[in-house]
Amino acid sequence: MPHLLIVDDEPEIRRLYAAELEDEGYTVTTAANPLQAVDHLRSESIDLMVLDIQLQGESGLQTLQNVVQEFPDLPVILCTAFSCYKDDFSSWLADGYVVKSSDLNELKSEINKVLARGKSSG
């Protein structure tokens, strides 16, 4: 099963996403900030990253740009409480975009869709 990296500065969101996605059969690693995320990406085999936009210390959009440069084949889904970022040009680097909700069906669907099509054809 694919290995997902969840990057969010809110511990309860990380726990919720990890629990829900592990129940779907995924292996899940979490990171509280961009530095932890990059450490995981460099040391583990990650198949997809779910990235919050509003992070402490660095914008998720900046993190997205850095990740795309260093890990160009890694699919990234932006997951944020704000739909307005969808129009931000830098968010277009992401393979998917989901507005946060307590119902994770949209996120799960987006993960399945992005993994199914693969980064190279996206």
Please provide the DSSP assignment of 36-65 as one string.
HHHHHHHHS--SEEEE-SS-SSS-HHHHHH
Domains located in the chain, CATH noted: 3-117 (3.40.50.2300)
Q: Average pLDDT over the chain, rounded to whole?
A: 89
- Report pTM: 0.89
Q: In angstroms, rounded to a whole number, what is the distance separating the alpha carbons of residues 37 and 54?
A: 14
pLDDT of residue 120 exceeding 80, the answer is: no
- Structure confidence at residue 61 (pLDDT): 87
Dihedral of CA 53/57/62/64: which sign? negative
Write b or e for each residue in 12-36: b if 16 or more Cβ atoms lie within 10 A of its Cβ, otherwise e.
ebbeebbeebeeeebbbbbbbbbee
pLDDT bracket for residue 82 (50, 70, 90): low
- What integer is the mean pLDDT of 21-41? 97
